[in-house]
Amino acid sequence: MLRSLTTRDKIIELGRDFVQKLGYHAFKYQLISKELNIKNAAIHHYFPAKEDLGVAIIEKDLADFQWMVRSVGEKSAFERVNALIDVYRTYQQESKNLCVIGACISAYVEMPEKMTIASKNYQDTIYNWLVANFKQGLDNGEFHFTDTPEDLAALWLATLPGALQASKARGKGYFDQVMSQLSGSLQVAAQ
Amino acid sequence: MLRSLTTRDKIIELGRDFVQKLGYHAFKYQLISKELNIKNAAIHHYFPAKEDLGVAIIEKDLADFQWMVRSVGEKSAFERVNALIDVYRTYQQESKNLCVIGACISAYVEMPEKMTIASKNYQDTIYNWLVANFKQGLDNGEFHFTDTPEDLAALWLATLPGALQASKARGKGYFDQVMSQLSGSLQVAAQ
DNA sequence: TTTGTTACTTACATGCAAGTAAGTAACTTT
DNA sequence: AAAGTTACTTACTTGCATGTAAGTAACAAA
């Protein structure tokens, strides 16, 4: 999977893996350099400070999210929001119990400013996309929830990362149990 | 607040604060020793390894939860589960964007075993208490939700810590917005 | 009163993660 | 072919977090 990538991109991918599995603080250059058979200094060549790699990881994750958004653009609102659930389900299956946003946002009281900004920007992007989809699904009759789209999006923004985190200590099936509750909140019309 | 406590208890309280604000990895002995005007070695006197302090923090937080449970034992199911929301609301107001469980559970792939066990035990305790309250509230007519109490408890277990984490980057009002969604999931009878 | 215990401090060891400086081999451009 | 650029490595510095060992002052118990 990583084979066709440049070293720079491999560093970002591996860094993202470790950030999602360990959190920002516990992820260390050595974990990456060992895996790629390079030296720590090689990582500094591409990313002078850890913060720089952190920002690159957030931006890559955001880019992947936006790629997903485009790839489901023609589908129904229900299918679109399920695609986001699938992203988180894949994290869970790969033992990544943190999303990039959650891992970065809870890492510091005073986080490097660039990372704070990148994380918030990413989180806003997801929120706005959810609101837009919920609105559209409500308008076209796919959904029948009675809350506001904004309230529902706020709930999803908390529950998606929360389910991922909690699932680490809970049994098999827990994650899907929560996701089915989330899907239920949309009040999808029975066929 | 801390003045009447023993040094040992002050260390636990401050440690808990930092764990909830920074995460387990970013919290360091020096932060505590500086605040209490003692030396790092004094902390090692009470807690030989960081892991020991970690376990003590989890157990103290669990003890506080159980104290809260007893203190609301005579109230209605709705008031009881709202007391749990209040606990998380207080965290949020105090800029503690992680609960102890979330902070510890997501800290390591391979966490010190004692801490893993203590965290899971604590999480199970909350889950079981939620299920019991939801069942009782359903039986006595306070609630009218149609999901199972277990499904609802699973949702709460994800959303409470998730809302706390996400609220760090979102505006004022976000946390209560999500909590009102959670409360709504109970379908409390209109008066 | 001597012995022990508690609650620390001083001083030190260890290890490791981040970061830097200088060098080198390969490739690219002019 | 010379000069520059890219992609690294080697070798090093720095700083700090965990942890340990030994000492000390105060108080408590026998």
pLDDT digits (tens, 9 = 90+) for B1-22: 566 799 999 999 999 999 999 9
Q: Which residues of chain B does A158 touch, with a Cβ-Cβ cutoff of 8 Å?
A: 159, 162-163, 165-167, 178
Q: Place B109 in a pLDDT band, splitting at 50, 70 and 90.
A: low
In the predicted structure, residue B111 carries a pLDDT above the cut 90? no
Q: Place A113 in a pLDDT band, splitting at 50, 70 and 90.
A: confident
CB B107 within 8 A of CB B149: no
Report the chain A residue with the minimal C-alpha distance to residue B101. Answer: A166
Output the pLDDT for position B128.
Answer: 98
In the predicted structure, residue A76 carries a pLDDT above the cut 60? yes
Our CA-based measurement puts residue A130 at a distance from the nearest CA of chain B, in whole angstroms, of: 15
Kindly state whether A23 is in contact with chain B, defined as any CB-CB distance less than 8 angstroms.
yes
Our CA-based measurement puts residue B141 at a distance from the nearest CA of chain A, in whole angstroms, of: 22
CA atoms within 13 A on the CB side of A34: 6
Buried b (16+ CB within 10 A) or exposed e, B140-179: eebbebebebebbbbbbbbbbbbbbbbbbbbeeebbbbbb
Per-residue tokens: A24: 């920002």
160-179 of B, contacting A, C-beta below 8 A? 160-163, 165-170, 174, 177-178
Task: Name the nucleotide with the smallest C1'–CA separation from A44.
Answer: C19
Protein residues bordering strand C (Cβ below 7 A): A 28-30, 40-41, 44, 48-51; B 6-8, 37-42, 45
Q: CA-to-CA distance for A121 and A117, rounded, in angstroms? A: 6
In the predicted structure, residue B36 carries a pLDDT above the cut 70? yes
Q: CA-to-CA distance for A74 and B102, rounded, in angstroms? A: 37
CB B16 within 8 A of CB B100: yes
CB B179 within 8 A of CB B163: yes
In the predicted structure, residue A1 carries a pLDDT above the cut 60? no
Q: What is the pLDDT of residues A8-22, one digit of tens each?
A: 999 999 999 999 999
Mean predicted confidence (pLDDT) in A114-128: 94
Output the pLDDT for position B191.
Answer: 57
Q: Which residues of chain B does A180 touch, with a Cβ-Cβ cutoff of 8 Å?
A: 151
Report the chain A residue with the minimal C-alpha distance to residue B23. Answer: A107
Output the pLDDT for position A171.
Answer: 87
Choice between A186 and A171, residue whose per-residue pLDDT is larger: A186
Per-residue tokens: B53: 């302090």
Contact positions of strand C to protein Cβ (< 7 A): 7-11, 16-22
Q: What is the mean pLDDT of chain A?
A: 94
Q: What is the mean pLDDT of chain B?
A: 94
